[in-house]
Amino acid sequence: MRRLSIILLLIAGGLFSQAQEHTHHLQAGSNKQQQEPVVSMSPARTKVIRPVRPAKTIHYDLYVKDTLVSYGKKIKRAIAVNGQIPMPTLEFNEGDTAEIVVHNLLKESTSLHWHGVFLPNKEDGVPFLTQKPIGPGTTYTYRFPIIQHGTHWYHSHSGLQEQIGMYGNFIMHKRSDDKTFRSGIDDLPTVPLMISEWTDLNPDNVNRMLHNASDWFAIRKGATQSYAEAVRSGHFKTKITNEWKRMLAMDVSDVYYDKILLNGQNLAELKTVDGTPLKAGDKVRLRIANGGASSYFWLRYGGGKMVVVASDGNDVEPVEVDRLIIAVSETYDVVVTIPEDKKAFELMATTEDRTQSASYFIGNGVRQPVGPMPRLKYFEGMKMMNGMMKMNGDLDDMGMEMSLNQMDMNVVMYPEITGPDLVTLNYSMLKSPYKTSLPKQAPVKELKFTLTGSMNRYVWSMDNRILSESDKIPVKKGEVLRITLHNNSMMRHPMHLHGFDFRLLNQHGDNSPLKNIIDIMPMETDTIEFLANEEGDWFFHCHILYHMMSGMNRVMAVGDYDNPELPDKAKAYKKLQQESDMVHLSAQNDFASNGNDGEAMLMKARWSLGTEWRLGYSNMHGFETETHLGRYIGKMQWLMPFIGFDYRYRKMGMDEHEKNLFGQVNKKDTRRALSLGVMYTLPMLVNFQAEVYHDGITRLSLMREDIPVSKRLRAGFMVNTDMEYMADLRYILTRNIGIRTHYDSDMGFGVGLSLNY
């Protein structure tokens, strides 16, 4: 084992030195880029005036390469660009032209999307929608004029590459002669801050585990909501109601992460800006982007109020807050002040589920921690969710008309929120300093979407349709698109529009803020609008990476765009649709004292193909398999009609035969039977299954798997009209290993090891 790690370290070293070779390309790029900003040394030491210079072409070379990192507990594969994670910060002045050359040194294809940036559609970086994937070993050049300013970011739009390092800051500076230039804000020293998460698991595995309803992440987070835990906290009835309404334990986030990173480090510090040590009274503008794949972060600062001056790259009237939550892929520009000398004040980013955090100490001297946030009260949250969940799986807002994150529906889970005068940012507090209203004469196209999903099968959709079930939405160039979004699912979704900023309609009317991400909490309704004045196919999707990959996407096709990068758009779109409904494999096998049983399943958003087997160790116990191919129906996917095939071999004596509850007799040693059946999830998450075989034999069964008895103990049972029954208990040891004991009417008592994939 030790030798293996040494080899890995050597490989890591080798890769790193290779990556180092390329860093000078970046420097070459930035040399071409711009002069150092002029820092005026006034007493306040906060004036940074960028010289107004002629627009030029800013060239970057980006080398995308596999690397190994040890952010978590193990050495794992990641992707670095120019040898670094996050990817290098790209900076431009408004008016420049960006020329970015991507050198793909990976063994797989890649792409880069310029998040929040206005550009011609063919430069937008979505494989199979705006360009072909950048193949391994090839080079691709993005070239577009910089026609806006603000804090943005960029990331891979290929598969799950964003999760393992492909995110970076993308900053377009406002020119000092811009009529919107705000002295005291736009002349502050700025620091880019990229928040991200790291998991030691391969993200493909994370994706698979989410689809397999694995509760391993909850175990890691201490967020299982088992019966034992419910009883201990006086919430037994809450838990019963929850399962009666067919809900699994739920959390505000899905994935357990090993580390949270700020600019690639769990603990970072800012002692100087532009070479000058920070001191009392200094203000710094942090350009914060959430490059996490699935985590929302609370941001808190120990040195006083944070002043929010921009969101998603767009200026807002300064607003003072004690804390804010930054949704996946949002950006905020926040001004913080160093209140005292000889101290460093903590800016803390805590995951919404409060299990992990990263810290950024600003200033020189003794560290002033802000302290952790209290843990969530899961059963309180569950109780509230029970109250809002109707038996059909719809959420009932009970007439509350929620919007703009103003009423945090998770408030009961947050014990400290009731504290005195804690100002938390919400979207109603965002006001544009300028009028953002759209031309009155433009025709308006209204669209409505309900955000939908089934937590139990991890299917995320819009109007109960995933991308592979949806055509592109035709939009005329010059139309105003007004989109109303209602979230009828149990999770919040950060919806992102490519290519445009939209107005997020709030009480500020003509001064409604511009954004390109809108985070929508469960049961909220919000309206956004924008002028569709740039042709092309623009992606509109949930930015939680694993929701996007599950199909929570649409395409707005503005005008009839001829994309030179994508000659066969129809074929490409089919490919994009396929990619958002991939097949997931799960498998499980028990090696028990009385036999061997298990199952393997292939699943898509609607389809499921599964085989179960039972293998006795003697002829008397025989061998059985059951295979089902089914399609899940309905919004909550509680109903699955299927066709089946059973095969069974068992040595029986001359007069021996088996009778079922209906008196039907099966006397063959070897049985091959086709069937038609249906499975339905009953309250308490019990599956009822009815199956009719071609020989007329009927079988009804009831079963439940994975009853959460305690944090790591799961129980299950099965009973059917063949008068067979089974009960089991499984203790979860690791992600893939458990100890299982069961009693089976055919095979008797058994105990053994249970492996799952």
In the complex, the smallest distance separating the C-beta of residue 338 from Cu ion, rounded to whole angstroms, is 37
The reply to whether 544 sits near Cu ion by the rule CB under 5 A is yes
Between 354 and 492, name the residue whose CB sits nearer to Cu ion.
492
Q: Does 493 bind Cu ion (CB under 5 A)?
A: yes
Q: Which is nearer to Cu ion, 503 or 541 (CB)?
A: 541
Query: Which DSSP string do the residues of 183-235 spell out, in sequence order?
Result: TTTTTS-EEEEEEEEE-SS-HHHHHHHHHTT--HHHHHHT----HHHHHHTT-
Report, in Å, the least distance between residue 204 CB and Cu ion.
19
Query: Does 547 engage in binding with Cu ion (CB under 5 A)?
Result: yes
Q: Are 45 and 86 in contact (CB under 8 A)?
A: no
Using DSSP's 3-state secondary structure scheme, residue 427 falls into helix
State the alpha helices, DSSP H only, in 99-186. none
Residues 728-747 vs Cu ion: string with x where CB under 5 A?
--------------------
User: Which residue, 225 or 329, is less far from Cu ion as judged by CB?
Assistant: 329
Q: Which stretch binds Cu ion (CB under 5 A): 180-188, 232-240, 316-324, 540-548?
A: 540-548
Q: Shortest distance, CB of residue 491 to Cu ion, whole angstroms?
A: 6
For the CB of residue 89, give the shortest distance to Cu ion in the complex, in Å.
27
Binding window for Cu ion (CB under 5 A); candidates: 356-364, 544-552, 623-631, 740-748 = 544-552
Q: Does 466 bind Cu ion (CB under 5 A)?
A: no
Residue 636 Cβ vs Cu ion, minimum distance, rounded to whole Å: 17
Smallest distance from the beta carbon of 574 to Cu ion, in angstroms? 23
Name which of 287 and 541 has its Cβ closer to Cu ion: 541
When the beta carbons of 301 and 546 are compared against Cu ion, the nearer one is 546
How many Å is the maximal CA-CA distance in the chain?
103
Smallest distance, Å, CB 519 to Cu ion? 10
Give min distance, CB of 553 to Cu ion, in A.
10
Question: Considering the complex, what minimum distance in angstroms separates the CB of residue 449 from Cu ion?
Answer: 12
Helices (H) and strands (E) counted in the chain, each on its own, are 8, 49
Instruction: Tell me whether residue 325 or residue 732 sits nearer to Cu ion (CB atom).
Output: 325
The C-alpha atoms of residue 383 and residue 386 are separated, in whole angstroms, by: 5
Site size toward Cu ion (CB under 5 A) is 4
Ramachandran assignment for 427, one of left (phi > 0), alpha (psi -120 to 50 degrees), beta (any other)? alpha
Choices 69-77, 201-209, 379-387, 487-495; region in contact with Cu ion by CB under 5 A = 487-495
The minimum distance between CB 252 and Cu ion, in angstroms, equals 12
Query: How would you class 183 by CB atoms within 10 Å of its CB: exposed for 0-12, middle for 13-18, buried for 19 or more?
Result: exposed
Taking the least distance from each CB to Cu ion, the nearer of 405 and 627 is 405
Residue span binding Cu ion (CB under 5 A) among the ranges 290-298, 360-368, 538-546, 592-600: 538-546
520 binds Cu ion (CB under 5 A): no
Of residues 254 and 590, the one with the C-beta less far from Cu ion? 254
* Region near Cu ion per CB under 5 A, out of 173-181, 350-358, 546-554, 730-738: 546-554
Nearest alpha carbon to residue 262 among 192, 213, 355: 192
CA 601 to chain centroid, in Å, comes to 24
Give yes or no for residue 293 binding Cu ion (CB under 5 A). no
CA distances to 15, 89, 108 from 18, in Å = 5, 20, 18
Please give the Cα distance from 311 to 287 (Å, whole number). 10
Question: By CB under 5 A, is residue 455 in contact with Cu ion?
Answer: no
SS3 573: helix
What is the DSSP secondary structure assignment for residue 633, as one 8-state letter? B
Distance CA 70, CA 87 (A): 17
- Asked if 648 and 671 touch (Cβ cutoff 8 Å), the reply is yes
Angle at 449 between CA 445 and CA 451, to 5 degrees: 160
Residue 111 CB, nearest distance to Cu ion (Å)? 21
Stretch that binds Cu ion, among 61-69, 361-369, 467-475, 492-500 (CB under 5 A): 492-500
CA dihedral 214, 219, 225, 229 (to 10 degrees): 140
Q: Which stretch binds Cu ion (CB under 5 A): 105-113, 383-391, 547-555, 590-598?
A: 547-555
- The amino acid sitting at 19 is A
The residues pairing with 700 across neighbouring beta strands, listed in sequence order, are 690
Q: Are 19 and 103 in contact (CB under 8 A)?
A: no
CB under 5 A: which stretch of 57-65, 336-344, 537-545, 674-682 binds Cu ion? 537-545
Stretch that binds Cu ion, among 143-151, 257-265, 415-423, 486-494 (CB under 5 A): 486-494
Q: How far is the CB of 520 from Cu ion (least distance, A)?
A: 9
Residue (of 532, 301, 558, 524) closest to 427 by Cα position: 524
DSSP string for residues in 316-356 = EEEEEESEEEE-TT-EEEEEEE--STTEEEEEEEEETTSS-
State which of residues 542, 592, 685, 726 lies at the interface with Cu ion (CB under 5 A). 542
Strand, helix or coil for residue 3:
helix
Judged by CB, which is closer to Cu ion: 285, or 547?
Answer: 547
* Cβ-based nearer residue to Cu ion, 334 or 402: 402
Nearest-10 crossing angle of helices 236-244, 378-388? 40
Least distance (Å) between residue 296 CB and Cu ion: 11
In the complex with Cu ion, which residue's Cβ is closer, 214 or 487?
A: 487
Q: Which is nearer to Cu ion, 64 or 293 (CB)?
A: 293
Say which residues have a Cβ less than 8 Å from residue 571's Cβ, sequence separation at least 6: none
The smaller minimum CB distance to Cu ion, of residues 99 and 463, is found at 463
Binding residues for Cu ion, rule: CB under 5 A, are 493, 542, 544, 547
